[in-house]
Each structure stands twice: as structure tokens, then as C-alpha cells.
Amino acid sequence: MLETAGENEPIATAAITSAREVPTMSKSARKRLLKQQLLEARKTERKAAEKERRRKDLERRRREWDDKLTCASEEERVRLVESRKEMRRERMERKTDDRGKRAERLRRSAEIGQKVVIDLEFSGLMSSGEIQSLAHQILYCYAANGKCESPAHLWLTGCKGEIGTQLQRISGYDKWIIEKEEKSYIEQFQDQKEKLVYLTADAENTLEELDDSKIYIIGGLVDRNRWKGITMKKANEQGIQSARLPIGDYVKLASSQVLTVNQVFEILLKFLETRDWKNAFFDVIPRRKRGTVDTECGDTVNVAKIERECNEASEAEITEDRGEEDEFDNVLGTKKQRSELTTDDADLIETADDTNVADDNKT
């Protein structure tokens, strides 16, 4: 249902106008385009609202701290300041310890981890904005892998050109414990070609289990459905195996069965942890992307419809349930440009988890 009043009126009007500017499109294609534009506009609004909420929350906590110091005696002020410094020291020690453990897990994954490749040879088919979106998704992949107790052995192949430049802009990227290769995966694994398995929604074979000896490839493409079937075609031309995730066996998606790069990667991580596809899909795929699911009593529930109806209430509950951040946390993040990213500490993993649900660009 379109928003036609209040703050959302310009968004709906702009989206409708844009959709009508393409007369060669079929009616269903125009509806898909309109829906996509509305979702993107609302996503931008939500991000702006969240940024404003964080700014106001930071200002409020600073005022409360200043008032607390003002009302305290000199002796009490010294005690409060020292207590805060000690808390920050302890937090930094925990972060340093967590960072060390994460690095050790990632190094160990190079020896025993499941090999997963992100194929970055599609840069020529994407716009600059889509390439930047792909860089974000790769960041989320790295963050999720570092959080995992049994991380995968993650490879980036074809890592050059504009996507290589975008990745280099990520603060800390040079220190990532990950395999980065300018060569293609075919060149890199030329003596292991029989082990390569391209994951694509167009494959006939369904992936029932993950084989430790196999090397699974995820196409690094944000195509918005312009290049349907391109990864399947590439696998066939190269004579390598292909497979699709068994999504349809467990979840009926509301639209396309194509997921973002980081969603596919996180599904693989979750399956490695649980060996349960259903658990992996429901843990990673956002509820709004699910269409209908069958309940144990045989009823069909329209998850997407329920999600739309409860959207405002859910977001309000999420905001209320969020724990109070330290008053100095995320200060730098609010001042950075949108294109700048950081992998400084464990906060990145939390940020990646939250943003993963919001990023709807398709690979």
C-alpha cells in the first residue's frame, strides 16, 4: 500500500513518477521497480532517523554526566572520573583480548576452515554505487566470519580495479586476516578445478551438505536482477560444478530467491555451526523477505504481510530495548562520511549484524 500523505508523500510521488518514465516496461516490472524504489527511500529515511536518535541520545547522556559532576562535591567528582576511566580501561582490555582471540580463530581457519570464495570479477557490470554496496557486503562477511567460533577460510578473488579501490578505502582492510588475490579463482585453484562449486540460484543441483574438501564460490554481483543467470552461465562455460541453496525446501521468499553476498555467506557459516538449513535460513534471512511458511498444523502464514502490519510497532520495541551505549561510543562514526568504514574493534561486528538486515541490494 502506497504512502500518499505526510512525510512519505514526496517519496511515493517520486517513485511513481520514476516508474512511469519507463513506458517499455511491463505492468509487473513497473510494480517491482516502484516497490524497490519505495523500499530504498524508506531505508534511507530509517538510517537518517537512527543517526538523529543516536545524536540526541549522545547529547542527553553528556548533559546528564555534566549535571552529575556539577552537583557532586570535589571529592565525589574525582571518584566519578576515576571510576569512569577504570571502566574504560577494562572495556579496552576486553576488546583487546577479544580481538586477539578473533585473530587466532581466523588464522586457524586458513588451515582447517571451509574454503569460501567471493568472486569479484563482475565490477565491469556494476555502477559505482553498486560496487560500493558490494564493498559494504564484503565488510559484513569479514565481520561475521570473525565473530564465528569456527570461521570459514575466506578468499577474495579478482580483487582489483574499482572494487579493489573501494575495499582499500575501508579503514583496517590491509590488516584483514583473509586471502586477497587479483587472480581469478580459476587461476588460483587451477589444480583443484574439480573441487570448485559455484553457488547460484539458477543451478539444478541442490546443496544438501557442505563438503570440507570443496571450495564454494559466491558471485560478488549487485545486479538488481539485470544479469539474471550470469553466474550459472559462467560456471557452465568454465566447466565447474554449480549448486543452489535449498531455500525453497524451508522458506518461501516474498520475491526473488537471490540474496545478498553477506546473507549467503552467513547462511553458510550458520550451517557449518548447526548443520541445520532451516535454522540457518530463519536466522539469517530477514522476516520481511519471507513470503509464506507452513506451520506445524498445516496453516499457511503470510510472514511478509504480518511484518508490514507490525513494522512500526516492531521498530519502536527495538529502539526501547536497545541498551544504553557508552557516551563516547560511536562519536567518530557519526562524523564520518557514508563512504568511510572501519574494522577497528568488536563494535564493527555488532554494526554489521544490525545493518545486514537493512541492506536489500541483491547480488
- 7-11 long-range Cβ contacts below 8 angstroms, 24+ apart: 7/45, 8/42, 11/38, 11/41, 11/42, 11/45
Strand order in the sheet with 115-119: 179-181, 153-157, 115-119, 215-219, 196-199, 241-243
198: part of which helix (H) or strand (E)? strand 196-199
Q: Give yes or no for a contact between 223 and 126, defined as CB atoms under 8 angstroms apart.
A: yes
Half-sphere exposure of 180 (CA within 13 A, CB side): 15
- For residue 242, give Cα distances in angstroms to 194, 202, 227, 234, 271: 11, 9, 17, 10, 18
d(CA 8, CA 54): 22
- Asked if residues 153 and 110 have their Cβ atoms less than 8 Å apart, the reply is yes
Q: Packing angle between helix 74-112 and helix 128-147, nearest 10 degrees?
A: 90
- Residue partners of 6: CB distance under 8 A and separation at least 6: none
- Rounded CA separation 221/180 (Å): 17
Residue 119: count other Cβ atoms within 10 Å of its Cβ. Answer: 22
Instruction: Please confirm, yes or no, whether 223 is among the known catalytic residues.
Output: yes
243 phi and psi angles, rounded to 5 deg: -160, 155
Among candidate residues 302, 289, 205, the one with its CA nearest the CA of residue 246: 205
Instruction: Give the span between the Cα atoms of 184 and 157, in whole angstroms.
Output: 5
Which entry of 98, 191, 223, 326 is annotated as an active-site residue? 223
Q: What are the residue numbers of the active site?
A: 223
